[in-house]
Chain A
Amino acid sequence: MSTDLSPTSAKGTDQDAAPVYAQEETVLGLPKSRWPGILAPLAMGVIFLSVWEGIVRLKGIPPYILPGPGIIFQTLITDWPTLSVALWVTLRITFAALIAAVSVGVALAILFTQSKWLERSLLPYAIVLQVTPVVSIAPLIIIWVGDVNLSLLICAWIVAFFPILSNTIMGLNSADHNLVALFQLYGANRWQTLRYLRLPAALPYFLSGLKISGGLALIGAVVAEFVAGTGGSASGLAYRILESGYQLKIPRMFAALLMISMSGIAIFLATSYIAHRLLFRWHESAIKRES
C-alpha cells in the first residue's frame, strides 16, 4: 500500500494501516533470500564429496569396500541404460501409489467428517494399517495379490496414505467456527459448506500431508521391492541394489542409491512447489511480513 492520497485514501478507508509484505529483489529469477538455502548445502556437498574422494584415494580403499564419488558418477553414466529402466519402474510405482493415497485419503477424510459413525468404525483400521510395518505384511500381500507390480503398489499406498488421511481430517475440522456459523446463518447446505469452506480450509493441512506422503510413497515402493525381491528386466532400483550387493558391484549399488535419494529430493521439491503455488496468496506459512 502506498501513502499517496488516492481518492480512496482520501475517503479514509484507513488503507495506510494495511500490512506491508516483503517484496524481494530477485537474483537469477529467484528471490535473494532463497540463495543461501541453495548455496550452503551445495557447498557442504562439494566439501563432503572432496573429503570422501580424498580419503578413498589416500588410503587406497578398493571400490568393492567403498567407491569414491568419481567412480560412482562414472558407473551412473555407464550403467544408465539398466539403471534408468529401474528408476522408471520405481517412480511409476511411487507416483501411482501417491495418486492412490491422495484419492483414497481425501475421499475417506471427507466421508469421515460427514459421518461421525463412519469415522468411528473405520478410523481404527486405518491406524492399524499405518502402524503395521509394511515389511511384515508385504509377503502376504504378494502371495494374495499375485501380480508383483500391483502388490508393490498396494504396499507403497499403505505407507503413503495415512498422513494424507489424518491431515485432511484435521484440516476439514479446522474451519473457523464463526465462518461455520455464517454459513449456517445463510442456510448453506452440506455441499456448499464443504465446497466453499471446509475444503479450502483443509488445503494447507492436506498439502503438508502430501509433502510427507510423497517421500513415504517412494520409501514404500523401495522397501516393498526389497521384500518382493523380484528380478528380471522389469525390476526397480531396490532390486538393482540387492543384485549389485550379491555381485559385489558396489559402485553400482551407490549409483542406484544416489538415484533413489535424488528422486526423493525431486519429489519433495515438487510437492513444496505445489504447496507454495497454491498458498502464497493467502496462507501465513507462505507469507513473509516486513518487520
Chain B
Amino acid sequence: MVNSASKPSGLRPLVSVRGLSKKFSNGTLALRDVDLDLFPGEFVSLLGPSGCGKSTLLRLISDLSAPSAGTIDWPGAESADAYGKPEHSLGFVFQEPTLLPWAPTLENVTLPLRLKHMNAGEARDRAAAMLDLVGLKGFEKSYPRELSGGMKMRVSIARALVTEPKVLLMDEPFAALDEITRHKLNDDLLALWERNRFTAVFVTHSVFESVYLSQRVVVMAARPGRVMSEVMVDAPFPRDNLFRTSADYAHLCRLGSEALKAAIDA
C-alpha cells in the first residue's frame, strides 16, 4: 500500500503543485522539489517530523508566502479574482485558534464574510448556521476567553468553513488539545467533511491521527523538506470508534509508522 502510483486517476486535480522549493533568507531549504496533487473532495494528511516543511507547504498553497521555485496551479478552480487567484476557495485553520479576542464568537465567524463585503444580515445567518454545525449553538455571544481550548478550535473551524471553501488547510489544529477532545474533534471534522466535501489538507505529526482522518497520507522528510512516500488509506467512511479499534486501522498505522521512520532515517 506504500505506493505513489495509486492516486485517484482520471480526475483533474484542484490544486497542482510542481517542483515547489522554498528557501528562507537565512539559507534554510524548507522545501525541495515538491510535487503534489490535491483532488476535489479528498482528505489528505501531510505527515512528517518537525522541520519537514509541512507548514511551509500550507503557507505556500494559501499564498501567504512566495515559492523560491516551482508552481502552484489551480486547474480545477471555477472562478478567479482580479489577480488570477481562485476566489473563496481557501479556508485556513492555524495551530492556535487565532480568534479576535475582543469579538464574540458569532462576530469571529462572520469575519471572513465581512472582509468579502457580504451584507451583515446574511453573514450573521450563515455564521450562526455554521456555529450550529460545529456544535456551538448557544455560544454566539461568548467571548473566546470564555471558551475551552476545544471550543475555540471549533470556532476556528467554523470561521474557516463559513466561506464554503473548496480547500480547507489545517496546520496541526488539534496538537494542543487533550486526546479525548482530539478524538471528538477528529470525528466531528470527518462528519463536516463528509457533509460538505471540501478538499482537506491536514498537517500533523501523529501517524494515528493521519490514518484515522485521511484517504491519503503524504509522508515528508526534513532537511531539506521533501515528499518521501504516500500511504493510501482506503478504509470506508464514515469512520468511527469501530474503525479506530479495528485490525485494519492497526495495520495501516504500522504502515504509516514504517513510512515515517523511513522518512526520518532518510
Residues of A near B81 (CB, < 8 A) are: 187
Residues of B near A17 (CB, < 8 A) are: 148-151, 181
Q: Which B residue's beta carbon lies closest to that of A278? A: B102
> Of residues A12, A16, A21, A192, which shows the largest number of chain B Cβ atoms within 10 Å of its Cβ?
A12
B143, A281: Cβ atoms closer than 8 Å: yes
Contact A13/B135 with A18-B147, A196-B114, A281-B143 known, Cβ cut-off 8 Å: yes
Query: Taking the complex as formed, is A179 at the interface, i.e. its CB lies under 8 A from any CB of chain B?
Result: yes
B184, A14: Cβ atoms closer than 8 Å: yes
B257 to chain A, nearest CB (A): 29
Task: Name the interface residues of A158-216: CB closer than 8 Å to any CB of B.
Answer: 176, 178-179, 181-188, 192, 196-197, 200, 203
Task: Name the interface residues of B148-163: CB closer than 8 Å to any CB of A.
Answer: 148-151, 154, 163
A282, B112: Cβ atoms closer than 8 Å: no
How far is it, in angstroms, between the C-alpha of A181 and the C-alpha of B114 when the chains are bound? 16
Contact with B along A36-64 (1 / 0, CB 8 A): 00000000000000000000000000000
B172 to chain A, nearest CB (A): 13
B137, A183: Cβ atoms closer than 8 Å: no
Which of A15, A181, A200, A287 contacts B100 (CB under 8 A)?
A200
B143, A182: Cβ atoms closer than 8 Å: no
How far is it, in angstroms, between the C-alpha of A42 and the C-alpha of B148 when the chains are bound? 41
Query: Taking the complex as formed, is B111 at the interface, i.e. its CB lies under 8 A from any CB of chain A?
Result: yes
How far is it, in angstroms, between the C-alpha of A182 and the C-alpha of B111 when the chains are bound? 10
Q: State which of B89-97, B206-214, B236-244 sits at the interface with chain A.
A: B89-97
Which of B90, B100, B135 contacts A185 (CB under 8 A)?
B90
Query: Taking the complex as formed, is A32 at the interface, i.e. its CB lies under 8 A from any CB of chain B?
Result: no
A13, B150: Cβ atoms closer than 8 Å: yes
What residues make up the interface of A, taking CB atoms closer than 8 Å to B?
1, 6, 8, 11-19, 21, 176, 178-179, 181-188, 192, 196-197, 200, 203, 281-284, 287
What residues make up the interface of B, taking CB atoms closer than 8 Å to A?
59, 62-64, 81, 90, 92, 94, 96, 98, 100-103, 111-112, 114-116, 135-139, 143-151, 154, 163, 181, 184
